[in-house]
């Protein structure tokens, strides 16, 4: 794997490798927002750095919503290609969020689109909802889990209700998009969201 420097030109300096290493170190320092701005200028090294940093997280998160590896690969490709093509349009619009936040927003919508395409072919979306198990008390560190009450309430929530809440709150999807993602009718999504809210309120009251 060859390293391309910032402008595609070789860096003059004390040995070529030293220059390359320093560029790589420099990229490593930058946060994702700066990387996106560099990508907007056509910087392939910055794009590769962004990819290396965010793709493992993206894959893991997508796999928790879709069991089909092909779909996950497709969504990843489309997402990163969109970032490459239009980073200039995205840069500066991460209002109240992070670059990784809107990276996920793009990926989530592409996932919903992929499910829409398959829905037409009458294939059930291969989403997985893992069963739950309360961890042993001594393993809990307060800093790692959600504040006690909310965590308990979440755990007590029925899985199908939690799924809907996760799609709408954590993934930021609308009711229609959630319906496509989970393969449910819109009315069911709305009913479950309402029940989830009521139960959460009751648990937290």
Partner 1 sequence: MTLGKNTGEEHPMTSAVSTADIAPTAYAWEIRAAGLKVRVGRKRMAVDGLDLSLGIGVHGLLGPNGAGKTTLIRTLATVLRPTEGSLELFGESVGGMGEHRAVRRRIGYLPQEFGYYKRFTVREFVEYMAWLKEVPKASIPAAVQRAVERVGLADRADERMKALSGGMVRRVGIAQAIVNDPTILLLDEPTVGLDPAQRMRFRELLQELGTDTCVLVSTHLVEDVAAACTDVLLFAEGRLVFKGPPDELASVGGPEHEGDSPLERGYSALLLNPEQTRGTW
Partner 2 sequence: MSAEHASKRIIEGYVRGGADLSADEVWAVEAHLETCRVCRDGLSAAVDAGAPEVARLVDTVWSGLEPRLAVTATMPRRRRWSARLSRWMTPTMVPWLAMAVGVTLLTLLLDRVYAGSGEVSLVLLLAPVLPVLGVAASWSRGLDPAYELTASAPRSGLHLVLRRTASVLAVVVPALLVGGWATGVMVVQWLLPCLAFTATTLALGGVIGVTRAAFVLAAVWAAVVVAPTVVTSRTTFALQTDGLPAWGLILALGLAVVTARRGAYTLLGAHR
In angstroms, the CA 177 to CA 116 distance is: 9
Q: Which residue has the tokens 């042993």?
A: 136
180 binds, among partner 2, partner 1, none (CB under 5 to 8 A by kind): partner 1
The smaller minimum CB distance to partner 1, of residues 30 and 94, is found at: 94
Residues 116-155 that bind partner 1 (CB under 8 A): 116-117, 119-120, 143-144, 146-147, 150, 154
- Measured CA to CA in angstroms, residue 178 lies from 18, 83, 173, 188, 190 at distances of 49, 23, 6, 10, 10
Q: Does 157 bind partner 2 (CB under 8 A)?
A: yes
Please identify which residue in 44, 118, 190, 195 interacts with partner 2, judged by CB under 8 A. 44
The yes or no reply on residue 143 touching partner 2 (CB under 8 A) is yes
Q: Is 3 exposed, middle or buried (CB count within 10 Å of its CB: 0-12, 13-18, 19+)?
A: middle
Q: Which does 70 bind (CB under 5 to 8 A by kind): partner 1, partner 2, none?
A: none
Quick check: 201 binds partner 1 (CB under 8 A)?
yes
Q: First and final CA of the chain: distance in angstroms?
A: 56
* Minimum distance, C-beta of residue 40 to partner 2, in the bound complex (Å): 7
């Amino acid at each position: 794997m060859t390293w391309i420097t910032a402008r595609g030109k070789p860096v003059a300096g004390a040995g070529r490798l030293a220059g390359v290493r320093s560029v790589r170190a420099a990229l490593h320092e930058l946060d994702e927002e700066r990387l996106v701005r560099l990508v907007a200028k056509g910087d392939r090294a910055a794009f590769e750095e962004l990819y290396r940093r965010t793709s493992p997280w993206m894959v893991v998160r997508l796999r928790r919503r879709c069991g089909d590896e092909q779909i996950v690969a497709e969504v990843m490709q489309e997402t990163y290609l969109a970032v490459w093509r239009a980073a200039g349009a995205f840069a500066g619009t991460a209002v109240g969020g992070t670059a990784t936040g809107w990276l996920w927003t793009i990926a989530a919508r592409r996932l919903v689109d992929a499910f829409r395409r398959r829905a037409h072919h009458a294939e059930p979306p291969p989403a997985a909802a893992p069963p739950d198990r309360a961890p042993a008390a001594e393993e809990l560190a307060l800093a790692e889990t959600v504040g006690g009450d909310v965590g308990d309430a979440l755990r007590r929530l029925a899985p199908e209700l939690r799924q809907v809440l996760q799609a709408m709150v954590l993934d930021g999807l609308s009711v229609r998009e959630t319906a496509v993602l989970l393969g449910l009718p819109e009315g069911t999504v709305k009913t479950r969201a309402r029940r989830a809210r009521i139960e959460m309120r009751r648990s937290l009251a």
